Structure 1
């Protein structure tokens, strides 16, 4: 029986709060890293990993928890750097002042650097089999690096004041947002030593779910409030960023959201056929968009 997602999130919260300080020996840096890491958030990515492990028949142990929680370190680094004055220059994140507003741009940059490198430490500094650690490290580097999230961020910067096509926008967000979510799902399959076919289907679910997540985030920037989102809204249009509502209108963006969700549900069904196991926990993730 799968653990309820709120309990998985609680396990990740506990691990992050108890483990971060042991690996940071400079007080200001530790405070800055902790400030952003423990500022809240859905913990979506590591929860996806842990839920996938359980749906594949695994029992979560401390090594799996450590490797999964590493992704939250990396995700938090990306948020700190994304908020910096040289990037989006945001003042608010998760309802609180952004890291550079609290600690200054220099310390905020170093806090992001620290979280990024610590993520790879956690992926490798555990007792998982050597080949599993190697696969996780390679896939995380690809997802986060210059052929993944970092490339997507670069495309986002260069795309400002330009009109991207729908295919170009999809590719941008497949890298910027989708790459880490794809990795989150795939990591569960890697830790459970699944076949290539199953891992490919897990990665496809992550890609489609990540696309849906980005489209939904674009819609919320238009339709929601700063209080609801915990960050500034209506910025994308003002900064002439390429978004799904900007390109397709709200109704068109909602249609694309449904296309991505339909594809993710098909991946879910394919996984059940391939493995003979129930992937009903993915229903809880898909319900996020209702």
Structure 2
């Protein structure tokens, strides 16, 4: 277990309550694991420039993971994807009930901002972090993307609209993770924008690869409900498996080129995290 994972596991959210299952449900999807991709992106930027701030950044990294986890809990609900499995475990509405799942998602969302507000960082940085997560995780990103995804289910969008949907639903929170690392590290606005734009490419690649997994792996292998995108505006449904793999490879090449343009500390820090996602895809 690395230091951040240990921090997360020893600082799980807990409510002062006599509710029989709320705390268990609140912690369940965090305990179930996951890639921790978004917090690790943030920490990679901090490690590259201000490693002494790594531990001070842990509450913000954990806030990102909690915010992302809230989105998964809500995404799995019957009113959205109606999924049975997440991170190899039954989804919260299956394990408990829909009310508990909705409220756990709400709690993880709001508690993320509590963690940022109480992080041992300069107040100006904390305001900027709250602004970024609130906008890129809300109407300027993930929530808007989810609204488009649900509204246009069963209706085929244009390729440009598909990219817009997934940039907002997935890409912008990933991009925000890199930008939030840059805020903590005190990087200038130009570098913050550059990392955000880089993160949009990473986010689209991440989404295409997720769509490929949905089309090619069983629920047991993937650890989540798959084969559930028949009516969605997924990349597979628009471009097929081979076309999606080609788009993923083109994006991976562009990300590799942009990665090579970064200075050595940032390049090394991000390469270690991104390398598994930059491999070429095979359709046979």
* TM-score band, normalised by shorter chain: over 0.9
- Within a 5 Å distance, the mapping from 1:1-290 to structure 2 comes to 10-21=2-13, 23-26=14-17, 27=19, 28-237=21-230, 240-272=231-263, 277-289=265-277, 290=279
CA contact (8 A) 1:198 1:271 kept: no
How far has the Cα of 1:200 moved from its partner? 1.2
Pairs aligned (count)? 276
How far has the Cα of 1:288 moved from its partner? 2.1
Provide, for residues 115-171 of structure 1, a one-character-per-residue CA deviation record: whole Å limited to 9, x for no partner. Answer: 000000001112200110010000000111122100000000012111111110111
Provide, for residues 246-272 of structure 1, a one-character-per-residue CA deviation record: whole Å limited to 9, x for no partner. Answer: 111111111111222222223323332
**Which consecutive unaligned segments of at least 5 residues does structure 2 have?**
280-284
State the alpha-carbon separation in 1 of the partners of residues 3 and 257 from structure 2: 30
State the alpha-carbon separation in 2 of the partners of residues 198 and 247 from structure 1: 34
CA contact (8 A) 1:90 1:98 kept: yes
CA contact (8 A) 1:164 1:242 kept: yes
Change (3 A) 1:268 1:57: farther
SS at 1:139's partner residue?
helix
Runs of 4+ in 1 over 3 A off after TM superposition: none
How far has the Cα of 1:56 moved from its partner? 2.2
**Which consecutive unaligned segments of at least 5 residues does structure 1 have?**
1-6
Normalising by structure 1, what TM-score?
0.91
How far has the Cα of 1:278 moved from its partner? 4.5
State the alpha-carbon separation in 1 of the partners of residues 140 and 276 from structure 2: 28
SS at 1:231's partner residue?
coil
- RMSD value, Cα: 1.5
State the alpha-carbon separation in 1 of the partners of residues 4 and 159 from structure 2: 36
Change (3 A) 1:200 1:174: same
Which residue of structure 1 lines up, in the alignment, with residue 282 of structure 2? none
How far has the Cα of 1:89 moved from its partner? 0.7
Normalising by structure 2, what TM-score?
0.92
State the alpha-carbon separation in 2 of the partners of residues 11 and 98 from structure 1: 27
How far has the Cα of 1:57 moved from its partner? 4.1
CA contact (8 A) 1:201 1:267 kept: no
